[in-house]
Amino acid sequence: MASSSPGESSTPSYRPQEHHLVRSLTLLDVIMVGIAAMIGGSIFVLTGPAIGLAGSAVIIAFIVNATITLFTAMAYAELGSAMPEAGGGYLWVREGLPRPNAFISGWMAWFAHIVAGSLYAVSFASFLNGLLLQLNLFKGVGSEGTLLILGIIPLDKVIAIASVAAFTYVNFKGTSETGKTGDIVTVIQLGLIFALIGAGLWTMHANPGWTMNFSDFMPMGIAGVVAAMGLTFIAFEGYEVIVQTGEEVKNPKRNIPRAIFISLSAVVVLYCLIAFVSIGAIFPEGGIASWKFIGDQGELGISAAAELIIPYGAFIVLGGGMISTLAALNATTFSSARVAFAMGRHYNLPHKFSAIHPKNKTPYIAILLSGLIMAVMASGLPLDQIAIAAGVIFLLLFTQVNLAAINIRRIYGDKLDYGFKTPFFPVIPIIGIFLKIGLAIYLLVTEPLSWVITIVWVAIGFAVYRVYIFRKELEHYAPTVTSEGALERKAFRILILYTPENPDRLIKFAIRVAKENNGEVDVLRVITVPEQTPLSAGIAFADSAKRAYKPLEETLDKEGITNHYLARISHDATEAILATIEEQHIDLLLADFETLRTNKKLQTLATCDALCVKRADENVQLEAVSRMAGSSDYIQARNPIYGQQQPQVNTTLRNENNNKKKRLVVLFDRGEHSDIVLRTTRWIEHSGLFTVTILSINKGHDEHAEGKKDPTHRNHLHQTHHLGIDGVEYNEIYLSKETESSIENLTMLIQSTINAAQPDLLIIGASIAKYSFLNDPHLLHLMEHLECPIIVAKSYSIPVIGRMKLLLNRVTRR
């Protein structure tokens, strides 16, 4: 056992240590799962209304929808091949986005899969009810055309519950049985679809005038095509079901990407062919256009067209609809249980959900509970109202997965074994994000109730997470060994990562920041143990952890700083830090530079600003010993950033001691970290021990001005008006396009400028232009050659969103 600073882990933390499923599904099985999920009953039910909206151009709507969904499908193929575990999107959001995104994504996905399964069960019951009515096998008929058993029990409800029970049992019995059942049902489904397509093509071949049916190709214009896309886009999102097989498919690195692309290609072709033959192979009486004839029939449009194409066509469509909904019910029963299983495995649902049947090797508790909820929904809830939220929920999940894909590449790089990698990265997932958000906004306009239901469900989940789930998750992954400190809590909280080798090296920086913000200092010590060692063994370290904290406590108490100490034991130090940041509502993480540099997961997922210090051991004084709070050298002033009472150095005293001050140099580029850079400058300068020189990086295109330092251009530095510091020296540094695009030239320019300023302490943002001081080799080499202590300031921002905000700020400043 050891107490350590978290370094970058060589493998993802998602890998489970228990409760493994069995890999028994083949590529064909998974393709069939995808096809079943994407076709469902939609190919027969939604195609008719879509034709009514777009006419023959519905084919374009299908192709564009498939193209749009391809941007997210590539992210699913990449992550599904590299992280093939049950949970799919939930798993990757857990690995690539900060808390509580993982729980919320799983909470939404589980709900959406269950709702989809309930809808398929109800649709199957409706199809079968309609067939029995046509065959006139039952005499009792309810007021809404529903057959009754014993005159009081709706037959369709009984059928829906029975279908859910049947496929719950199939899933319970084993993954192999589930795959075989899905294969059989999907093959029958495809056979009926091909029969209709074949008959339609034969009819068109026998009637050369069929081309006239497409003469008015886009009768409703672009607006009709967009409306048809909005109606049918969710039909092409079945890859979320495919990736749920990740822990049970053979050779997932190869088979998951293939299954996604093969099933998506096959389904879009089938949708286009059904629309093509339905419009082209019929010639309605009265000269009415075929697309209008189909559209006027609404959800029965394809059935009406089939009746004109092939004998007993309506029965073929009815049978196809029944089989399709059964295939989709089987797929969603499987996927909903896998989401619940994965959440239980990670303590985001009760851990019992991750139990695996000793004989069948299936997550039986997750299956049975998901099936039970599905049956309850199918039996009595207003699914037509709830179901419209499923589309929004899936869109939000897909947005999270695209964001997670960007972060996972950033965190793990080439350490993951990919079977497929998204081309033009990260452009493709960014486009996917905007497309999914755009479609979600479309649903907000057209179906506002869908957003209301989604928001309510997410709010319920967030409350459950805060009240119960997060506590259980923390108890399992990073239990507290000991907790010391004052009962009082401050609004602004600073977290220091304790290192036994040099526990007090960062304390002077923490004290300075705490004084400026009337904040508290929380010290975290993480005791890491091997995976095979139970975390309960950490209780033995309680006494030694308390003793180790005493010197730090005395230092902080002497300075009048409220402080707390936490010692946690964990198999993963990074997870313990991230959990503590959320649990303690940390505003600022203070760490050693190497700790943050070598831990990309901490860089990416920490939900607070961060300061990491290089050469913290250098003798840089941050507090004047003779100036204690309450002496005549201090005046009270309102902090313009946090609105709290803060100590400031008397201006007269500052001027008298200017010749004794050290030089604080700030590299400022108006980038995404500029706000925390300026705040840090304020915190350090208010010690009264530094003069401040701000080196402002400006992206100009005047090659003759490059490298020129001009102290008269203060008006260009709008953000520094909030500093409240007198006597700041401003130097402008202009970059040409050539220098900005060359990291070698940029590094040389920065190094010469900093050396000329002769800093005793340097503050820089975590990145400059598109290059990172935490990761870029050239900038890291530059920092090694600088002799002064360096504070690297990193602001917290959501990936992509932070860059968008920065771009918007730049545009508005113009």
Question: Which H or E run includes 662?
Answer: strand 662-668
Instruction: Confirm if 438 and 543 have CB atoms less than 8 A apart.
Output: no
Dig out the tokens for 780 from the structure. Answer: 């890291």
Question: Which H or E run includes 692?
Answer: strand 690-699
Residue 412 CB-density burial (10 A; 0-12 exposed, 13-18 middle, 19+ buried): buried
Q: Hey, which bits of 571-652 come out as E strands?
A: 588-592, 609-614, 634-638, 645-649
The whole-angstrom separation of Cα 324 and Cα 318 is 10
Instruction: Confirm if 506 and 591 have CB atoms less than 8 A apart.
Output: yes
CB burial readout 230-265, b (16+ within 10 A) else e: bbbbbbbbbbbbbbbbbbbbeebeebbbbbbbbbbe
The residue type found at 198 is: G
Distance from chain centroid for Cα 29: 28
Residues 491, 492, 498, 502, CA torsion sign: negative
Residues 618, 624, 629, 634, CA torsion sign: negative
Paired strand residues for 698: 734
Of 598, 579, 603, 605, the C-alpha closest to 6 is 598
pLDDT of residue 576: 93
pLDDT of residue 778: 93
The whole-angstrom separation of Cα 754 and Cα 764 is 11
The whole-angstrom separation of Cα 113 and Cα 394 is 9
CA atoms within 13 A on the CB side of 669: 23
The residue type found at 189 is: Q
Of 356, 90, 51, the C-alpha closest to 229 is 51
∠ CA 394-399-402, rounded to 5°: 125
Q: What is the mean pLDDT of each run of 10 residues along the chain (814 residues)?
A: 53 55 87 87 84 93 92 94 90 91 93 88 82 66 56 77 93 83 86 92 91 90 88 81 89 94 94 94 88 88 90 86 87 92 92 91 93 89 70 90 93 90 93 90 85 91 91 88 86 90 84 94 90 78 77 88 91 92 94 93 93 80 56 34 38 50 89 90 89 83 47 47 68 80 88 91 90 92 91 82 54 48
Dig out the tokens for 67 from the structure. Answer: 């193209």
Residue 10 CB-density burial (10 A; 0-12 exposed, 13-18 middle, 19+ buried): exposed
Instruction: Confirm if 691 and 659 have CB atoms less than 8 A apart.
Output: no
pLDDT of residue 164: 94
